[in-house]
Every structure is written in C-alpha cells, then in structure tokens.
Structure 1
Amino acid sequence: MRRSSRFILLALLAGCTHAPSTAPQPAAPPGSRAAVLSAVRAAADLREVPADLTPSVAAAGDDLGLDYQKCEAAPAADRIGDPCVFGDRTGTTRVVLYGDSHAGMWLPAMTTIAARRHWRLEFYGKPACPAPRLTFWNQQENRPFTACDRFRDFVLSRIGQSHPDLVVVTNESYAQKVGRGELVTPAQWETGLVDTLTTIGRSASRVIVLGDTPVLDRSAPDCLAAHASDIASCFTTSTKATARVWNAADEAAAKETGAGYVSVLPWLCREICTPVIGNILVYRNQFHLTGTYARMLTGVLEDALVRARTAGDGTP
C-alpha cells in the first residue's frame, strides 16, 4: 500500500505541477484530469495512514500552501488597501479571485496557474464573508455581519472600476447563517449569488463560479489521528458530504447569469469522500483543503478554468 500511495503522488505531480513557461498561453498539461480521477478512485482502497503522509497529521492544520492571510480583510474591516497581486504583475490578462476563506484556499493552485499563463491575479478575500448579496450572521460576535456587506460592496466597486478579463468567485456555503440560529437556505443563497454575479458580469469579460468542497463528517487530521490503521472510519459518503453545501444553488446562479460553473467534486470524491488521496492529506479540517492538495489540483483546475472561460468567449 505504501508503494501504491507513492505511485499516485508521483502521478499527480506529473500531471499537476510544471516548470514556469515562457509561452504566453501554454496549454493545460495533458492527462492531469485523468491522473487526479485515477488517484481519487484508488483512494477508496487505502486502509492505513501512509508513513509518508504529506502534510503530516500534526502539520495539516497549518498547511495553507502560502502566507495569504496577510492579504485577507480582517474581521472588522470593510475594505483593504491595494489587493495582493500574484502571477505576472505586468500581464495583460487581469484576473480576480474573490470570495471567503475558500478563495484563499485555492490560492496555491491559482497563483501557479497565473504564473504559467502570465495572468495578473488580484485577490479579494474575507473569511466568513461569502459573495452572495445577503447579510450573513457574524457567528463569532452573534450579530449581523454588516462589515461583510460593506466589504462586498467595496470589492464590486473595485471590479467595476478595473474591468477584469476574468473573475473567479468561490465560497463556503456550509453552515452559513442569516440570523441567530437561522441557516441560509439554498433559495436565499441562489438569489443572493445571482445579484452578485449580475453586478460583476456588467464589468468583467467572464465570470466563473468555482463550486464548494464537500464537507466531511469529522475534521480529517483529528479523525486520522484516532484511526491511523482504519482510514475507512474517516470516510464520508459523497451524498452526505455534498448535502451540506449549496452547489446546486451555485450552479443555478451561474447558469441564470451566464457565468461558468466548475464542479470540484470529481477531484475529491466518487461514492465516498476520503481524507487521504495517494499519500496526501486532503483536508486540514472538515471543509478546507490543505495547501498541498490544492496545489496538486493545479493542472485539473487550470484545464477547467480555461475551458469555462473559452466557452463564455464562444471559442470552440
């Protein structure tokens, strides 16, 4: 099993990491989707935590992939100064990544894609502040999260001024509330996201919604620490894991506004969602990917974004 896990990691590395390219628009790496899907399929056969698990169970909670938290808006902040810029600062293709903590979660992959494609990537993120135009509940302070409303208006104003070529929107819908003990409904989420995407669409050439990650029953590092010889105890069925997030509402909002939609589910689950794929620890808690696994998805994410972007441009 240990040899198998190393083989899967090598396959992912071969398909999803790349040396910097000098070509202005390099093609997505061939076979990366097949490599990821093969690794996901094989993960269901794992029974013990690999000896070379990366990151380790102890380190997983801090595995962000890069220090992006300094780029995020603070809990009480309703704006930031100049956004953090990644990729090619002089690039003529302007890309914005916008959302809550899940936007930051995807930065390890997005920054690599931006560098390869010579995109100028601007990041706007505020934890616990999703993009749908709703007043969410600040669950830390037990009050309406009005700073989130103002931050959203700030970001939409910036996008309206800069007219980017592409805006990628991604959020965590799990357990979001719009009142004390009042979970947001899929219908509310969809309506709020339609409003946001419509506003962005007036200024951006293309908008893509990157779907939410499935939610495990337990924090992956905690579960694996208790079940090192029985990874199956930490499996969550795909049906259960996806029922906790509003991906159908995300997809419907994208369709209604003419935005693209990219599902990440095949990159994480088949019938079950596993906390380990190959020898990679996939989640750093119940619902955030480790920076290591996010980076392993660079190739498949790049391919999906390019396809979704060109589909909106009418390119075959």
Structure 2
Amino acid sequence: TAHASRMPPTGVLPVEALRRTDDATRSECWSDMGDDAFDMCTLGDPDSDMRILALGDSHLAVMTDAIEQIAEDQGWRVDMAARGWCRWMGEDAQLADLSQMLQDRCTSWREEADAVVDEGGYDAIFVAAASHSAFAVLEGTDQAEFETEKLLEAWSKRPDAENVPIIALHDNPMILSSVQSPCFGNARALNDGDCSVPRDEAIADTTGLDDAVAQDPNAVTIDVNDFICAPDRCNPVVGGVAVYRDNAHMTATFIGTLRPYLERELVDVLP
C-alpha cells in the first residue's frame, strides 16, 4: 500500500548517519531557547500583496524549507517566527516542567508575537505546534479545555478577525525513537511493520486545537496526516523516506514530500 513501510533497494533516505540532523530549522526564523530574542524571517516574495504570518514552535520550524518553497511557488510573503517549548497562546499557558527562565522567555516571545499581530497587515495567520506535551495546570483542570481557552485568548488579539483567518495545522503523528530504531538497517523488521504503531496512538486526539477552531468564527484546520499514516497504523518510513529524525520532529526530506499536499490545502483555504 501507499503507506507500507518498505525498505527500498537503495536504502532509506536520508541515510541513517544524517537522519538525526536532517532539519530545516533556520536561526533567522527560530528563537533559540538560550536567549529571549524574537527572531522572525521573511520567506517568499517580500513585496507580495498576500502576506501570511506563521507562528509556532519547533514543529513549525522544521517546515521552513517547505513553507519557503510554497511561498515562492505562489508569490506569497510569509513572515515566520518560532520558539522551542513555546507557542502563540494566552497568558500563563506554559508547558509542564519548564524552568522559570524558559517560561519567562516564552512569555516575552508571546508579547513580541502579539505586537506583530496587533500591527496588522496580514491576510492570514498560520499556526503549527506540537500536540503531545502537557501544560502546567492546576489539579483537576482539563488539559484540552485549558488549551482551547488559551488559544482563543491569543487568536482574539488579531485586530481584523473577520478578515484574517487562523489556519491551524493538525500536528503530525509521533513514534518513539525506541520503537523506530530496530527497523533502520533491518529490512525484514521494517517490511514486516514491526516498528509501526496504531494511528490512534500516534496522533493526539486530546488536543484542544479542534475545539478552538470550532469556536472561532474565522478559523480552519488543515490536516495532511493521511499522507503520513494509513487508516489504521503509522510507520516510521513512508515511500522510502524516514519520517522522523527523533520521536516527533519530521525530517526535512520527508516534509519535502509532503509539500505539494500542504500547498494544496493552504491554497484551498486562503481568502
């Protein structure tokens, strides 16, 4: 099948020695956790009439090459800013177990993101972030409800919400590196599906993102996971390409194979 995790005669790409570093993240678009800078880059045509703001965490950053190619294909301008362990949300939304320093840097990054949003001039805001990490919440607080509330709090800050849609990317599946590793270099194990996992385990279904999209009158979710997983299982290799460089970050090579499908989804939903 199209999603069968087969070992091609030439081996999986990228080669194992390069898989863990096959990363499209760029320093000019990425706020490193080592400082509190807000780094934002411009991809595509800087003079385009179509301006898109892309905000997220490392799951956005790994898509930089693909988003740049889409922007160039379509003649768009995409301003991108991403930060590790942080995403564009409302006040006091922090991931669990972060140091106070990382929380403070996330808060500062969000303030800068809010300022960029408030300046306006964008035709859409694209958001992408990891979905498997828990938030630091009071005991008894529902994680999904908290996420929904804090996403809507951030999204409400766009000054022209009726005309500026939120385009939210459904997060990619996750397969633990310990599950994947026995199949790299082992054609039999890979071809037998020994390193695949049930789709409903790989793709988070407790996220509050869908509820936030449903409650915002001008928000939409796009999802390319059908091009990553079969209806019932997810594999670490698709089409002879390694999907992941670790537990959950996709390789730049694999994201390149997803680019046409992501481009089609974006074109369909943009105003």
Query: TM-score, normalized by length of structure 2?
Result: 0.87
Q: Secondary structure at the match of 1:86?
A: strand
Identify, as 1 or 2, the structure richer in helix: 1
Decide which of 214, 219, 224 is 1:259's aligned counterpart.
219
1:67-113 per-residue CA deviation (whole Å, 9 max, x = no partner) reads 513431121544425x2111112212111111000111221211111
Q: Secondary structure at the match of 2:172?
A: coil
Question: Which residue of 1 is the match for residue 26 of structure 2?
Answer: 68
* Aligned: 1:216 with 2:175: yes
Question: Which residue of 2 is the match for residue 236 of structure 1?
Answer: 197
> Aligned AA for 2:174?
V
> Aligned pair in 2 of structure 1 residues 137, 180: CA closer, same or farther (>3 Å)?
farther
- How far off its partner does 1:144 sit? 6.7
> Aligned pair in 2 of structure 1 residues 140, 61: CA closer, same or farther (>3 Å)?
farther
1:43-85 per-residue CA deviation (whole Å, 9 max, x = no partner) reads 32x45465332111221111113x513431121544425x211
* Aligned: 1:287 with 2:224: no
Question: Which residue of 2 is the match for residue 97 of structure 1?
Answer: 54
CA–CA separation in structure 1 for the residues paired with 2:9 and 2:102 = 44
Question: Which residue of 2 is the match for residue 114 of structure 1?
Answer: 71
Question: Which residue of 1 is the match for residue 136 of structure 2?
Answer: 178
**Correspondence 1:1-316 to 2 at 5 A:** 41-44=1-4, 46-48=5-7, 50-65=9-24, 67-80=25-38, 83-133=40-90, 134-137=92-95, 139=97, 141=99, 145-178=103-136, 185-200=143-158, 202=160, 205-218=164-177, 222-225=181-184, 227-231=186-190, 232-243=193-204, 246-247=206-207, 249-257=208-216, 258-270=218-230, 271-310=232-271
Query: TM-score, normalized by length of structure 1?
Result: 0.75
- How far off its partner does 1:138 sit? 6.6
Would the aligned equivalents of 1:135 and 1:144 in 2 still touch at CA under 8 Å?
no
Q: Secondary structure at the match of 2:136?
A: strand
Q: % of aligned pairs identical?
A: 22
- How far off its partner does 1:276 sit? 0.8
CA–CA separation in structure 2 for the residues paired with 1:222 and 1:181 = 36
> Aligned pair in 2 of structure 1 residues 220, 114: CA closer, same or farther (>3 Å)?
farther
Query: Which has the higher mean CA deviation after the structures are superposed, 126-135 or 280-289?
Result: 126-135
Would the aligned equivalents of 1:144 and 1:179 in 2 still touch at CA under 8 Å?
no
How many residues are treated as equivalent by the alignment? Answer: 265
Would the aligned equivalents of 1:54 and 1:281 in 2 still touch at CA under 8 Å?
yes
Query: Which has the higher mean CA deviation after the structures are superposed, 142-151 or 275-284?
Result: 142-151
CA–CA separation in structure 1 for the residues paired with 2:197 and 2:187 = 16
Show structure 1 runs of 5+ residues with no match.
1-40, 311-316
- How far off its partner does 1:201 sit? 6.1
Q: Secondary structure at the match of 2:168?
A: strand
Query: Which has the higher mean CA deviation after the structures are superposed, 135-144 or 231-240?
Result: 135-144
Q: Secondary structure at the match of 2:93?
A: coil
Q: Secondary structure at the match of 1:168?
A: strand
- How far off its partner does 1:228 sit? 4.1
Show structure 2 runs of 5+ residues with no match.
none
- How far off its partner does 1:294 sit? 0.9
